[in-house]
Amino acid sequence: MNRKILTLFTILLLALTSCGHDPITKDAARVIHADVVALDHTIYFNRFGSHDPYGMIFALKSDVQSKDSTQELRAGQVTLRSDKRPRPLVLRANVGDILEVTFTNLLNPKRPESDEKDVAPVEEEAAHIAEKDRNLSNNPCAPLSETNPAKGSPTTRCASIAVSGLPTVDPATPEKSGTRSIPPNTTITYRWRAERTGTFQFASLAAPSGGEGDGGSLVHGLFGAVNVEPKDSHWYRSAVKESDLKLAKEQARAPALYNYEAAYKDGKPVLNLLQKVNGNTFNLLYSPLDAIIVEPDKKQAHREFTVIFHDELKTVFQKQFSILSPEQFAKDATTDEEKKKKLSYSKQLAGVRDGFGINYGASGMGTVLLANRQEIGPAKDCVDCFYEEFFLQSWANGDPALLAEYDDDPSNVHHSYLNDPVQFQNSHAGPKETHVFHLHAHQWLSSASEHPNYLDSQTIAPQQGFSYQIKYDLVKGRSGNKNQTPGDSIFHCHLYPHFAQGMWELWRTHDVFEDGSRRLPEGGDNGVVIDGRDPKKTIMA
Average pLDDT over residues 128-143: 52
269: helix, strand or coil: strand
In a domain, 195, yes or no: yes
d(CA 352, CA 161): 33
Task: Give me the half-sphere count of Cα atoms (radius 13 Å) on the Cβ side of residue 272.
Answer: 22
pTM exceeding 0.85: yes
CATH number of 200's domain? 2.60.40.420
Q: What is the mean pLDDT of the chain?
A: 85
83 and 181 share one domain? yes
pLDDT recorded at residue 34: 99
Q: What is the pLDDT of residues 83-101, one digit of tens each?
A: 999 999 999 999 999 999 9
pLDDT higher than threshold 80 for residue 207: yes
In a domain, 470, yes or no: no
pLDDT higher than threshold 60 for residue 9: no
Query: Among 132, 81, 74, 84, which residue's Cα sits nearest to residue 107?
Result: 74
The vertex-518 CA angle with 517 and 524, nearest 5°, equals 120
User: Do the beta carbons of residue 312 and residue 501 sit within 8 Å?
Assistant: no
Count of CB atoms situated within 10 Å of the CB of 503:
31
pLDDT recorded at residue 138: 62
Query: Among 325, 328, 237, 224, which residue's Cα sits nearest to residue 275?
Result: 237
Count of CB atoms situated within 10 Å of the CB of 455:
15
141 and 258 share one domain? no
| Beta carbons within 8 Å of 402's beta carbon, 6+ residues apart | 5, 46, 47, 410, 411
pLDDT recorded at residue 406: 83
Domain end among 258, 285, 302: 302
488: helix, strand or coil: strand
In a domain, 463, yes or no: no
At 408, the pLDDT band (50, 70, 90 cuts) reads: confident
40 and 72 share one domain? yes
267 and 213 share one domain? no
pLDDT recorded at residue 15: 32
203 and 248 share one domain? no
Give percent of the chain with pLDDT exceeding 70. 84
pLDDT recorded at residue 523: 58
pLDDT recorded at residue 69: 78
Q: Which of 178-192, 289-303, 359-373 has the lowest mean pLDDT?
A: 289-303
3-state helix, strand, coil in the chain (%, to 5): 15, 30, 55
In a domain, 342, yes or no: no
pLDDT recorded at residue 539: 35
pLDDT recorded at residue 292: 96
Most confident of 14-23, 335-344, 422-431: 422-431
124 and 88 share one domain? yes
Q: Please provide the DSSP assignment of 217-251 as one string.
A: GGGGT-EEEEEEEPTT-EEEES---HHHHHHHHHT
d(CA 219, CA 209): 10
**What single DSSP character describes residue 182?**
B
User: Do the beta carbons of residue 169 and residue 192 sit within 8 Å?
Assistant: yes
At 111, the pLDDT band (50, 70, 90 cuts) reads: confident
pLDDT higher than threshold 60 for residue 205: yes
Q: Which regions of 14-66 does DSSP assign to beta strands (E)? A: 31-40, 43-44, 51-52, 56-60, 64-66
In a domain, 388, yes or no: no
Q: Which residues pair with 223 in a beta bridge?
A: 203
Q: Which domain holds residue 274?
A: 237-302
Q: Which regions of 270-325 does DSSP assign to beta strands (E)? A: 274-278, 281-284, 290-295, 300-310
Domain end among 302, 329, 346: 302
The count of structural domains within the chain is 2
Average pLDDT over residues 49-62: 97
pLDDT recorded at residue 86: 98
pLDDT higher than threshold 80 for residue 538: no
At 478, the pLDDT band (50, 70, 90 cuts) reads: confident
188 and 279 share one domain? no
d(CA 23, CA 302): 22
**What single DSSP character describes residue 1?**
-
Average pLDDT over residues 399-428: 92
At 73, the pLDDT band (50, 70, 90 cuts) reads: very high
At 524, the pLDDT band (50, 70, 90 cuts) reads: low
The vertex-152 CA angle with 106 and 310, nearest 5°, equals 80
148 and 211 share one domain? yes
Q: Which residues pair with 175 in a beta bridge?
A: none
Domain end among 212, 234, 256: 234
Q: Is the dihedral of CA 476, 480, 485, 489 positive or negative?
A: positive
pLDDT recorded at residue 124: 36
More confident residue, 447 or 480: 480
In a domain, 250, yes or no: yes
pLDDT recorded at residue 115: 44
d(CA 186, CA 141): 12
Query: Among 319, 315, 325, which residue's Cα sits nearest to residue 355?
Result: 315
Distances in Å between the Cα of 459 and the Cα atoms of 194, 477, 534 are: 25, 22, 34
pLDDT recorded at residue 482: 87
Q: What is the pLDDT of residues 279-337, one digit of tens each?
A: 999 999 999 999 999 998 777 899 999 999 999 999 999 999 999 999 899 888 889 99
217 and 189 share one domain? yes
Q: Please provide the DSSP assignment of 358-425 as one string.
A: ETTB---HHHHHHHHHTT-STTTT-SS--SHHHHSSSTTT-STT--TT-SSS-SSEEEEETT--EEEE
pLDDT recorded at residue 143: 57
155 and 220 share one domain? yes
**What single DSSP character describes residue 84?**
P
pLDDT higher than threshold 90 for residue 131: no
Q: What is the pLDDT of residues 217-239, one digit of tens each?
A: 999 999 999 999 999 999 999 98
Most confident of 80-89, 135-144, 333-342: 80-89
Q: Which of 149-153, 453-457, 465-469 has the lowest mean pLDDT?
A: 149-153
160 and 292 share one domain? no
User: Do the beta carbons of residue 175 and residue 122 sit within 8 Å?
Assistant: no
230 and 244 share one domain? no
pLDDT recorded at residue 123: 34
At 536, the pLDDT band (50, 70, 90 cuts) reads: very low
pLDDT recorded at residue 153: 84
More confident residue, 369 or 120: 369
Average pLDDT over residues 357-365: 97
In a domain, 125, yes or no: yes
